[in-house]
Structures are given as structure tokens and as C-alpha cells.
Structure 1
Amino acid sequence: MPPLPSEQGTIQLDLIGIGTGNPDHLTVQAIRAMNAADLILLPRKGSAKADLLDVRRAICEAVLEQPVRMVEFDLPTRDSAGDYIDGVQAWHRAIAAAWARQIATHLPKGGKLALLVWGDPSLYDSTLRIAGQLIGEGMAVDVRVVAGITSIQALTAAHAIPLNRLADAITITTGRLLRAHGWPMGVGTIVVMLDEGGAFQALDPADVEIWWGAYLGMKQEALIAGRLADVGTEIMERRSALRQRHGWIMDVYLMRKST
């Protein structure tokens, strides 16, 4: 973590959920917070994911009603070699250091900083943990979360389905955990996030239905639903084609076991 100026003032850090990238998904609270910011940081994730930066820019252009300073910065990449948890924690430290450099440069006396977070900062997102690293290093940071529409909400809305069946439990998990442990015991509905692709292939597809969505809320939105045994291959082929076309993909899916 770079040293902070001795006169560094308090940073009000607004972590603003922006849903799935559609400006219509922003809440009134989110729009007000963006307009009240002294600085909005926009991360660059490399040329392959330039569309993600473009979406953030488009959201700012759509909702900002007054001049707000926007600064782009290069987001560190995660080293995928070695232990997963150690790699993620090192990555978070690197991101916190990148934030600290931008704060020291652009808000040396403190102020209101906004970061635009996909979905909601509370759901499978590490922005709150990274903000905690700044606080742990002694920076005066007042964190506020502005809730956003999650990819799960966008998925169920796109397919017009309820998240849970009557009196049934749900589990939200990741592709990595689904591959490692299979279908959770005693649960009829699962939502799978952060899947690098096709974790459902590790399951017995019998009596499983799936609702899949990619780029939810965006112009390139793609949806597939049906019996896993019938549409699993179609999902994998569509996912591969979309990723090749756009250079990146964000998808999520819900599965139910038939009663």
C-alpha cells in the first residue's frame, strides 16, 4: 500500500450497485450519489474487456446531470496460479493499493469518491472487502453502500419465474463449488454464479431444469431455458460463441430439481 499524505482527509466512499449495466436499473439513490461525487473511478480491465468500461461510461453519461470528475485506472489482474484463496487475497491487496494511489493523487484532502459495482456490492463481490483493506491501513474512509439490482433478480425477471418454489429453500453458490461438491443436499433450487463455464456438466441432468442468462439487461442479452438434458449443450455452444464475439461474458443460471 503506498504511503498516504499526512494531510489526507476523510474519504466518503460510495459503493454504488449499477445492476447489470442497464442505466434503467439504477435506483434514484444511486443517481443522486453519482451526481454528488467529487470523483468517480472507472477501472480498465484490458482490451478484451473494454466493453465493460464503455458500459460504465455510458451509465455516467446517461445519469450525470452536472460535471463530475471521472478518472480511469488500470485494474490489477489476478494470478490464477497457486492457491485460489491466497491469489484472491493478493489481488485484493493490489486493488486496494491502486485505489489508494488514485485517492492520494486526486482527493488528497478527502472528498466523496464513487465506485460503480456490477449488481449489488453485497452479493459475490469483493469491493467491500477491498474497502476494508484501506481502513485497515489507517485511511479515514466512511463506506456507504447503495444497493443495486443483482444478476439473480435480473435473471428471474428476464425468465419471468419466481426465485423459490413454495416452502422451498434455495442455495446461491459458485461454479467452482458446484464442481467440487455437487448439488447441495436438501435443496430444490440453486443459483450458480461466477462459473467459468459449464459447471452444470458435473451433474446428473435427469430431472433438472435450468434457466440461463448472459449479459442480462444489456442489448446483447441471451436467454435459454429448459430441461438440462435437452439444453445443456446448447448453452455451452451459445456461451462459447458469445465469449468469442465480445471477448468476455457475464452469465448466471438457476436450476431446479423436479419434485
Structure 2
Amino acid sequence: MRELFLIGIGTGNPDHLTAQAAETINRAELILLPRKGPDKEDLADLRRQILAAVLTNPAVRVVEFDLPVRDAANPDYRAGVDDWHDAIALAWARAAGDGAGTVALLVWGDPSLYDSTLRIAARLPAPPRLTVVPGITAIQALAAAHAIPLNRIGAPFMITTGRRLRDEGFPPGCDTCVVMLDGECSFQSLPPEGLSIWWGAYLGMAAQILDHGPLAEAGARIIRARAAARAEHGWIMDIYLLRRDG
């Protein structure tokens, strides 16, 4: 491939696409659409719906491919991720084929934030020229859904992961943290006194779920709601903000 467009598509709502994203989708010669297995077919369907809403250029081809699965049993997390990213880069190259020209990938949220698409692109056998189109992040969607600011006046906030929240506790030096990539409701590892939580799942989608309140009260509700939603849909995308009271 000569050029690779990495297009941020927000959190699954076609209305979240920027005009630049829609224009770039119609400028590509080929769009690669990953499939993550039958349990996550909704994710591929959301990408198909976005393309149905904005793709008007009949010359653009869409090729679907199966996304490799990370070996979660590998005890060396970083080595396992490296192997997985190599496999994904190879899957991209195979799906694109020879002489693909300009290729586009639709990236959830924004390609710059807790997403490895840029790192995977660097692993392609002949790295193409990159064009990145920014998208609405889950963080923006969460704050908008709850109608809250991300930070207090003049104060910083931290973006972290569930694993680091469990291992290191509430980040020092700030009173607000946003937690991503948390499959275990890691807020359970914190003393709940003096903390409030704003949680959202499937943000921007028809299935959007929201909850907020003191962590001591809302935490149990969120755990139940998350488990029920994951059982119903087979997958879940969620994010939350924690803030010290006062």
C-alpha cells in the first residue's frame, strides 16, 4: 500500500464522524474492515452502518478480514502483544493485496489514544505514508453524556488503565482520573469513601448506558449493569471518571 488513512470514527455513532473523516473515507481506494468473531459481530456491523451512512464513492472497495486474536495465556504480556501486533500487520497486508494504493482503516475513538493502530502500521513490511484523521474519543463522549467538565478549574486530570488503577491506586497529584481498558471494574480496589464515579458503556450508540454517584453507592450498580450488558451483547465498551469529592 502506498498510503494508509487511519480514520477516527468516534464511539459508534455515525453522527460523531467529522466532515474530514467522511471525505477521507470517500477518497480511499480500499477500506479494510476487521471482523472479531461471531461474539463481536456487532462491532463489524457498526462499521458497516457507518460506511452505509457516509460512503458515496462507488469506486471505493471494502474488504473484510478476520482479526488475529492475542494469546492471553502468554505469561509475558509485552511479548504477547508484540507477537499479536505482528500478526495484525500481516493480516492487513494480506487483506490489502498487491497494488492497493490508498488504504483506510476505521479506528474506534481516536488513533492517538490507547489504540495501537499507529504502532501496528509501523510493523508493515513496507510502511506506507500515514494520514491520521482525528476522531471523537470515548472520554469526550463520556463527559458530554454526563454533561460534566473533565477537570476542575486550573486542575490536572489523569488518563489511566484499569490495570494501573489496581496496581498503583488513585493517581497521585490530581483529583480526577479517567479509566480506560478496564475489564474488571478496578474501582473495586479503591477505598470508596470520598470518591464519586461517572460511568458509561456503548457511548453514543443506541444501547448507551450511564450511571453516576458516590462510588460507595454506584459501584455495585455499575458492576451489575456491566455484567448484564456484556451477557446480552457478548461484548462491552465502557469507560469511567473518578473524582475526589470536594
Match of 2:116 in 1: 126
1:236 maps to which of 223, 228, 234: 223
Aligned residues with identical type, % of pairs? 60
Q: Matched residues in 2 for 1:175 and 1:15: separation? A: 26
Q: Matched residues in 2 for 1:52 and 1:11: separation? A: 27
Q: Matched residues in 2 for 1:252 and 1:21: separation? A: 14
2:76 maps to which of 83, 92, 103: 83
SS of the equivalent of 2:123 reads helix
After TM superposition, the score normalised by the length of structure 2 is 0.97
2:156 maps to which of 169, 174, 184: 169
Q: What code does the residue aligned with 2:107 have?
A: V
SS of the equivalent of 2:207 reads coil
Q: Matched residues in 2 for 1:238 and 1:197: separation? A: 13
Match of 1:115 in 2: 105
Q: Matched residues in 1 for 2:128 and 2:57: separation? A: 25
Is 1:16 aligned with 2:7? yes
Contact kept, 8 Å, 2:31 with 2:63, in 1: the verdict is: yes
Specify every segment of 5 or more residues in structure 1 that has no aligned partner in the other structure, as ranges.
1-9
Q: What code does the residue aligned with 1:89 have?
A: D
After superposition, the Cα gap between the structure-2 partners of 1:59 and 1:130, relative to the gap in structure 1 and judged at 3 Å, is: same
- How far the C-alpha of 1:109 sits from its partner, in A, is 2.2
Q: Matched residues in 2 for 1:183 and 1:140: separation? A: 39
Match of 2:242 in 1: 255
Q: Matched residues in 2 for 1:210 and 1:87: separation? A: 32
- How far the C-alpha of 1:101 sits from its partner, in A, is 1.0
1:92 maps to which of 85, 89, 92: 85
Is 1:38 aligned with 2:29? yes
Is 1:55 aligned with 2:32? no
- How far the C-alpha of 1:197 sits from its partner, in A, is 2.4
What is the correspondence of 1:170-185 to structure 2 with a 5 Å cutoff?
170-185=157-172
What is the correspondence of 1:211-230 to structure 2 with a 5 Å cutoff?
211-230=198-217
- How far the C-alpha of 1:84 sits from its partner, in A, is 1.4
Specify every segment of 5 or more residues in structure 2 that has no aligned partner in the other structure, as ranges.
none
Q: Matched residues in 2 for 1:49 and 1:98: separation? A: 18
Q: Matched residues in 1 for 2:82 and 2:168: separation? A: 23
SS of the equivalent of 2:79 reads helix
Q: What code does the residue aligned with 1:224 have?
A: D
SS of the equivalent of 1:36 reads coil
- How far the C-alpha of 1:166 sits from its partner, in A, is 0.8
RMSD: 0.9
Q: What code does the residue aligned with 1:172 have?
A: I
After TM superposition, the score normalised by the length of structure 1 is 0.93
Match of 2:130 in 1: 143
2:55 maps to which of 55, 61, 64: 64
1:193-246 superposed Cα distances (whole Å, 9 cap, x missing partner) = 000121000000001010000000000000000000011000000000000000
SS of the equivalent of 1:133 reads coil
Q: Matched residues in 2 for 1:258 and 1:168: separation? A: 14
Q: Matched residues in 2 for 1:72 and 1:258: separation? A: 47
